Structure 1
Amino acid sequence: MKRILAAIGLGLLLVACWGCGAAPRPDTVSYVLEAEPSRLDPAMTTALPESNVELQIFEGLTRLDDHDVPQPALAASWQISPDGKVYTFYLRDGICWSDGTPITAQDIEYSWKRVLNPDVASENAYMLFCIDKAEAYFNRQARADEVGVTALDDKTLQVRLTNPTAYFLNLTAFHCYYPVPKHVVEARPDTWAADAETMVCSGPYKITAWNHSSQIDMVKNDAYWDAGAVVLDRLEFPISDSQATRLTLVESGQANMTVEPPPSEQERLEALGLYKIAPYLGSYYYVFNVQKPPFDDVNVRRAFAAAVRREELVRYVVRAQKEAAYAWVPPGIVDEKTGRDFREEGGDLAVEDEAAARAYLKAAGYDEDHPLPEVTILFNTNEMHKAIAEAMQSMWKDALGADVFLANQESKVFLATRSQGDYQIARASWIADYVDPMTFLDVFADRDNDARYHNVIYNNLVQAAKETNDPALRRQYMHEAEQILFDDCVIIPIYYTTQPYVVQPYVKGYHWSPLGVVDFKRAYLEDQKG
């Protein structure tokens, strides 16, 4: 999604278009988005620029705090049945949309069922499949009124789950669970989420202007239930897909925050105190097509996996303070009861050993007299993906004598090629949808996963983890499932993701979620906090 360094000259030209050198207002945080939001319908969007804007203007039943724990938001409280399958949410008194219309439990029932409606065809529908009959409704095998979401009255919402879902409260803070204003959506179904004039909001801020491909402006939403906690009067979101332009805007004082500065600028920005790293719950990895020769042989997969030198790759190619990955689920998912990190408990699962790599290859029947067939790495067009692929190509040539070729495709074509299984090995990345190991383990429990991988024992462990209400047993099942992924060598994890960004030091109070979004609800400028 991120673009590579653009011409500085173009950046300076674009900078001139934003205010002709004017600094941000003293009551305003200005965050430069890396792309124009396609729309701001939380049921339909999947990219981070949209999610970042939506977090400021919408509210879920819960909202993640600075420790990424869901706290009461539109819901003042809730009850959970002893079996963990029924949640009853009690909405706050007096909550309303930015146009003054009350927010009701019926709005939430409507919004969640809209995400699941097969005619709406939301790519986020799977996020609600933990709800009873939700997946069946999406697949046209059940009616909407059979789905386990019911408004008992204006202020009470009851949710029935298929199985106990330990992370369900986290899900209610995710963007596709935000309620949307039914009275606006149905009146303007095609335009309500693409025009400032028709955007009705429920979050800390509301949109006042949206100059497409240029800037989104917001002001504090006085109708927000927690408006007293919102310090800033305004937010601005200039838009540029150029790393150089975004950085220039921040350094020139025309904005004060943005993501993904050019990697070549890291040391200089660190010296200036502008360069920061936020946690980002994700993994960059290579995935094998386990049904495509020669990787239909687990020993060949193990050979290629054991020949990777991650620390060297991260230090000299990737940089940006990434952490070499030796497992699938990244660090940063802490058990609330034990205080232990899932990754710390599970330890490293990947092995680097060139001698073992050559032994695996020999066990698969390949040697000097029986060389490997040609292997091709598939990646989507991006300079960093290319650089990593070239490094992997070199490592596999050195350790295994493998002839490895590179193939790059434009992102949409690449994703289609991968989903169709028309590749041998490909780059991939996965960013958590919620803060729980299941968001990673579920990726390979699906018969239609990109790896073409299907292991009954793995699937049964993942399902058992979903069905149990015992936290310790659930964690045990997930650790066992993750180990199977490495026994079967389905992936080669390369690094755990981070979110590099630049910010002026006077901007305070914002919170980066490990899901990749930044919350400005309590943000302030240092000299006005008081």
Structure 2
Amino acid sequence: MKKLWILLLCLLMLILAGCGTDTNDKVSYALEAEPASLDPAMTTGLAEANVQAELFEGLTRLDKDNQPQPALADRWDLSADGKTYIFHLRPGITWSDGTPITAHDFVYSWMRVIDPSVASPNAYMMFIIDGAEAYNKKKGTADDVGIKALDDQTLQIRLKNPTAYFLNLTAFHCYYPVPEACVRANPDTWAANAGGFVGCGPFTLETWVHSSEIVVKKNPAYWDVDHVRSDYLDFPISESQSTRLTLVESGQANMMVEPPPAEQQRLESMGLYQVAPYLGTYYYVFNTQKAPFDDVRVRKAFALAMEREGLVKHIVRGRKEAAYAWVPPGMKNPATGQDFRKEGGNLQEENVKKAKELLKEAGYDEAHQPDVTILFNTNEMHKAVAEAVQAMWQENLGVHAELTNQEAKVYLASRTQGNYQVARASWVADYADPMTFLDVFADEENDAQYHNKAYADLVGKAKEEKDPGRRMEYMHQAEQILFDDCVLIPIYYTTQPFVVQPYVKGYHWSPLGLIDLKEAYIEK
């Protein structure tokens, strides 16, 4: 009887051990937010983009050197004037349901992004295509847009001007094709649930338990399926940094981003803490149309009262760098070989005395202080930064700022609709060029509700300019206007701290903030 009990006990321990380590058999990335949608045309967040990168693919896909490589297109031709691309699709490529992918799918998908009735927040990403901006702004017709299927296998794209980074854009999520039949049948829900989901990437959507977990499965119809190393990827979801870290350390996940800063030293000693390069800026954005920040003097006062170095060193950590301009380091001026940020220098300063003077000049004093609320999305780090900024403004300006946090979907809607005064935000490069930052505030419908014709004109000139040196100069001038008008407060240039178990192999972090798990696997 004793031997039987020992045998049963051992069997029970094996069962429990199997339950506890099951996730170690597959790559499991703890997602930092519930995706608002998996529709590539309609999302802007990294949580969405990281899942979409496994479910979809563009004409190109970025390699480990962040260079665009043939993907759904196996080759392309470029006209002598640099304005017309002819993409040749791979023979035999299909959607995950086996339906052929054609050039007409790209025409439908890209035209959908710029269709004004769709109101895609990514439409501006396609404005380099001839006629796209005019159509989106109802100043031109769909027939005038330079997107055309020459036949089922051949896509012709006509650009407004030669664009060196266009092939990089074709790897970006809003350039992914989407299944027209699914979108038309269920326009609001086709990308919101696993049932009936159709994609074209290395994986397809298996299950989606909202606010809990997403599981994707290897797509046998994918053209490059032989290089997909994992049968499944698991994306448990939590907005809590601490919870995501617990998932990794307990074996219920094996990767996560942005661990709590206080855990950095401990995780480094365990060999779990890594930092990837990241072209991005964490900032506070003003609603320039809503009091008190409709007065540039007030905006400048609050910006001057910021203290970045201590905030980054003691709260943010993660080897971040305090930011005093919009465009981050890491992008070179091809005309000079110099870093764009180093050339432009700092564009914002810290000066409490001047801040107080400006606030007084705007009509505020100790007896009459502005009512201010800081908006941020639910996250321990965003909360910690907001509390630090709240303390700075109280100490330096005598202004008490209220704090309001919202779940990610609500927060994004509030920013888009201008339902805030000052809000936390971050922007990560969509491609490795300063234009990806400057374009943000040139759009008529930007979060800051900012409209300056001189700024927009300079951005427009930079887009049209062929001479690389002059093009960069236009962008430097535009960035200066952005700070003359004090549209934002840059806080730090981002890095990508992450925690990963040493047995996870084959993944790649892009400096654009995306993780590519196509070839990721668990080393046995």
> Which of 377, 380, 384 lines up with 2:376 in the alignment?
380
How far the C-alpha of 1:519 sits from its partner, in A, is: 0.3
Describe how 1:98-137 pairs up with structure 2 within 5 A.
98-137=96-135
Choose 459-468 or 63-72, whichever is displaced more: 63-72
Partner AA of 2:71 in structure 1: A
Structure 1, unmatched stretches of 5+, are 1-15
- When structure 1 is superposed on structure 2, of 196-205 and 404-413 the one drifting more is 404-413
Establish whether residue 433 from structure 1 lines up as the match of residue 430 from structure 2: yes
Deviations 1:150-196 (A, max 9, x none): 00112211112234434322221111111123344445656543454
Find the residue that maps to 1:77 and give its secondary structure.
strand
1:71 aligns to what?
69
Amino acid at match of 1:462: V
CA distance change for structure 1 residues 179 and 288 in 2, over 3 Å: closer, same or farther? Answer: closer
Letter in 1 for 2:427: W
Residues 114/448 of structure 1: CA separation in 2 closer, same or farther (3 Å cut): closer
Q: Distance in 1 between matches of 2:213 and 2:291?
A: 49
Task: For 1:85-234, list aligned pairs within 5 A.
Answer: 85-186=83-184, 189=187, 192-196=190-194, 198-234=196-232
Report what 2:31 is aligned to: 33
1:23, 1:198 → 2: CA distance?
Answer: 27
Question: What runs of 5+ residues in structure 2 fail to find an aligned partner?
Answer: 1-14
Which of 494-503 and 383-392 deviates more? 383-392
Aligned to 2:11: none
Q: How far apart, CA to CA, are the structure 2 residues paired with 1:169 and 1:264?
A: 40
Query: How big is the shift at 1:146?
Result: 3.1
Give the whole-Å Cα distance in 2 for the aligned partners of 1:457 and 1:327: 19
Q: 2: distance between equivalents of 1:333 and 1:500? A: 20
**Superposed counterparts of 1:117-516, under 5 Å:** 117-186=115-184, 189=187, 192-196=190-194, 198-290=196-288, 298=296, 300-334=298-332, 340-355=338-353, 357=355, 364=361, 373-374=369-370, 376-380=372-376, 382=378, 383-400=380-397, 402-408=398-404, 410=406, 425-516=422-513
1:328 is displaced (CA, Å) by 0.5
How far does residue 61 in structure 1 lie from its aligned partner after superposition?
0.5
Deviation larger for 292-301 or 482-491: 292-301
State which drifts further: 297-306 or 158-167. 297-306
Q: Secondary structure at the match of 1:313?
A: helix
Distance in 2 between the 1:298 and 1:170 partners?
Answer: 36
Using a 3 Å threshold, how does the CA distance of structure 1 residues 48 and 367 change in structure 2: closer, same or farther? closer
**1:286–1:221 CA distance, 2 compared to 1 (3 A):** closer
Matched, 1:518 2:515: yes
Counterpart amino acid of residue 60 in structure 1:
G
Secondary structure of the corresponding residue to residue 214 of structure 2: strand
On the 8 A contact 2:334/2:468 being kept in 1, the answer is: no
SS in 2 for 1:484: helix
- How big is each residue's C-alpha offset from its partner over 1:380-414, in whole Å with a ceiling of 9 and x where there is no partner? 364544443443344345445x3333242535666
How far apart, in 2, do the equivalents of 1:343 and 1:352 lie? 18
In 1, Cα distance between the equivalents of 2:27 and 2:518? Answer: 11
Partner of 1:5: none
Q: Is the alpha carbon distance of 1:48 and 1:103 closer, same or farther for their aligned partners in structure 2, counting shifts above 3 Å?
A: same
The alignment covers a number of residue pairs equal to: 508
**Against the structure 1 CA distance between its residues 82 and 377, is the aligned structure 2 distance closer, same or farther, given a 3 Å change threshold?**
farther
Native 8 Å contact 2:324 2:491 kept in 1: yes
Is the Cα contact below 8 Å between 2:248 and 2:254 reproduced in 1?
Answer: yes
The one-letter code sitting in structure 1 at the alignment partner of 2:452 is N
1:87 positional shift: 2.0
Q: Which moved more, 1:161-170 or 1:446-455?
A: 446-455
- 1:24 is paired with a residue whose SS is helix
Structure 1 stretch displaced more, 233-242 or 305-314: 233-242
- Report the CA distance between 1:440 and its aligned residue: 1.4
For residues 459 and 17 of structure 1, the distance between their equivalents in structure 2, rounded to whole angstroms, comes to 61
Secondary structure at the aligned position of 2:278 is classed as strand
Deviation at 1:144, TM superposition (A): 3.2
Q: Secondary structure at the match of 2:463?
A: helix
The CA deviation string for residues 73-92 of structure 1, in whole angstroms up to 9 with x for no partner, is 11222233344332221222
Residue identity opposite 2:114 in structure 1: L
- The answer (yes or no) to whether the contact 2:335–2:469 under 8 Å persists in 1 is no
**Cα distance change, pair 431–19 in 1 and its aligned pair in 2 (3 A):** farther
Aligned to 1:4: none
For 2:3, the equivalent position in structure 1 comes to none
* Aligned-residue offset at 1:38: 4.5
Partner of 2:5: none
**Mapped partners of 1:503, 1:435: distance in 2:** 26
8 Å Cα contact 1:377-1:427 kept in structure 2: no
Instruction: Name the CA distance, whole Å, in 2 between partners of 1:418 and 1:192.
Output: 25
The one-letter amino acid paired with 1:404 is H
CA deviations on 1:121-170 (whole Å, 9 max, x unpaired) are 43333322332332343445544333221001122111122344343222
**Residues 337, 52 of structure 1: CA spacing in aligned structure 2 closer, same or farther, 3 A cutoff?**
farther
Q: Which moved more, 1:514-523 or 1:118-127?
A: 118-127
TM-score (norm 2): 0.84
1:288-346, Cα deviation, whole Å (9 max, x unpaired)? 45566665665554444333221011112323332210110112334578664322332
Contact 1:317 1:388 in 2 (8 A): yes
Q: Distance in 1 between matches of 2:394 and 2:187?
A: 55
CA RMSD, Structure 1 to Structure 2 (Å): 3.4
